[in-house]
Chains A and B, each alone.
Chain A
């Protein structure tokens, strides 16, 4: 598999798994409006995953569905940040913000790349991600505005910082640190990035649930 395809798959897996995790709030988000908004964001992420899988599938001679659902859990290349399960709301928002911030840096690099296909898809994704960032930033402002909110956000970010660094390649990590520290107005812990492939146990559980229907009615089944 080419380095390019591996990279596309990693990004697709990030979007799919985060979309799946965020959709776990559907029906139980803190209030109705947030429920609708967060679910809609989750659907967008899954839409991005599909576009990326299609790009990879064309190169690998397979289909987007096969890439999304027919691989074993250990074959996924997503960052552990997106795999974590049942984060309470402050952690969910912290992860959402950390991911969107990292994703913005990654997309900016892709938009500037000389691969027209990747640059094009990154530009399209970024136009939707802009609203995800607005949503995340508004929550960060809200949390930073009170003592309780700030404490909970800071605890969550410290806890998620290693996995957050793992979303990006080495050369882009300092930019993530710079933006996050500036936004929070404090230094972040000096920890090692949690790399891709170091899967959380929670991924296997997610995979069981996510691929259940597909496995019960394998590709080619008629509905």
Chain B
């Protein structure tokens, strides 16, 4: 059985995928995860999830190229400059364009 391990580095932070352990059951998995991802005090907490309990989605069709729904549809740089101009706080970067 494969268990995916998620690790929280400090209290309050989000859990991030750390890796996985193979173990015959949850008890073994907990002990192995503790030793593999916690023995160096590198984790505040761990989450263990059986791999077959995870649902994965990996298809995201975008047939009509709806750029405006994506974050890269906006140029933050241009909008930021416009906002600064409007507010009169535009500074000239040393030796170059603002």
List residues of chain A with CB under 8 Å of any chain B CB: 31-34, 36-37, 40-41, 131, 134-135, 138, 142
Contacts and interface: CB of A to CB of B under 8 A. Distances in A.
Contacts of B32: 33-34, 36-37
Contact of A40 (B24, B28, B35): B35
A34 B22 CA distance: 10
B80 interface: no
A138 B36 contact: no
Given A36-B35, A36-B36, A40-B35, A31 B22 contact: yes
A27 B93 CA distance: 57
Interface string B19-35: 00111100110011011
Given A36-B35, A40-B35, A40-B39, A138 B28 contact: yes
- Interface size on B, as a range, is 10 to 19
A33 B25 CA distance: 13
Given A33-B32, A33-B35, 18 more contacts: A31-B22, A33-B21, A33-B22, A33-B23, A33-B28, A33-B36, A36-B32, A36-B35, A36-B36, A37-B35, A40-B39, A41-B35, A131-B34, A135-B31, A138-B27, A138-B28, A142-B24, A142-B28
A33 B23 CA distance: 8
Contacts of A135: 31
Contacts of B21: 33
29 contacts: A31-B22, A32-B22, A33-B21, A33-B22, A33-B23, A33-B28, A33-B32, A33-B35, A33-B36, A34-B32, A36-B32, A36-B35, A36-B36, A37-B31, A37-B32, A37-B35, A37-B36, A40-B35, A40-B39, A41-B35, A131-B31, A131-B34, A134-B31, A135-B31, A138-B27, A138-B28, A138-B31, A142-B24, A142-B28
